[in-house]
Amino acid sequence: MKKSDKPVAIVSYDEKPGIQAIATTAPDLPPVPGVHATFARDHEYKRHGTLSLLAGIDLLTGKVHALVKDRHRSREFIEFLKLLHAAYPARTAIKLILDNHSAHISREIRAWLDTRPAGRFQFTFTPNLIEGFFSKFARSVLRHIRVTSI
């Protein structure tokens, strides 16, 4: 098999920091015909803290790889790279499209990448498609969610 026949995964990656983990202080009220058509929720809430979503979408398969962490530093990015490393066969090249955040280009990242087989990870620094996923996720899921803990 020629080198160019090596399998490739192309993953668009980014972080969404500052996701609030908030809880209701009273139960949601079910819809009541003629009064309110959807669930009603009290405006008061309890804030448990914030989290960061680290996610990448495989542009060839549509699979989303994700981690939820307290922060999004180099060490959390390495955890995400390990998740990708475990998700794809060893001979698959993993090409990441990501922004030029300092956590993606640190000495810690370069040192970790040096321990991986040559060509396993390739980075392209540019704005990317995962932003659209984050936007849709925030509008359709995150703004409605209530949790009991962080």
The pLDDT of residue 110 is 94
Which CA distances in Å does 21 have to 42, 45, 83, 135?
Answer: 16, 10, 24, 17
Q: Of 30, 24, 26, 13, give the one whose Cα is nearest residue 98.
A: 13
For the cut 80, the answer to whether the pLDDT of residue 142 exceeds it is no
DSSP-assigned beta bridge partners for residue 122:
95
pTM of the model: 0.76
Residue with tokens 């180099």: 74
| Greater pLDDT, 144 or 31 | 31
**pLDDT tens-place string over residues 92-112:** 999 999 988 888 989 999 999
With beta carbons less than 8 A apart as the criterion, state whether 86 and 52 touch. no
Confidence of residue 4 (pLDDT cuts 50, 70, 90): low
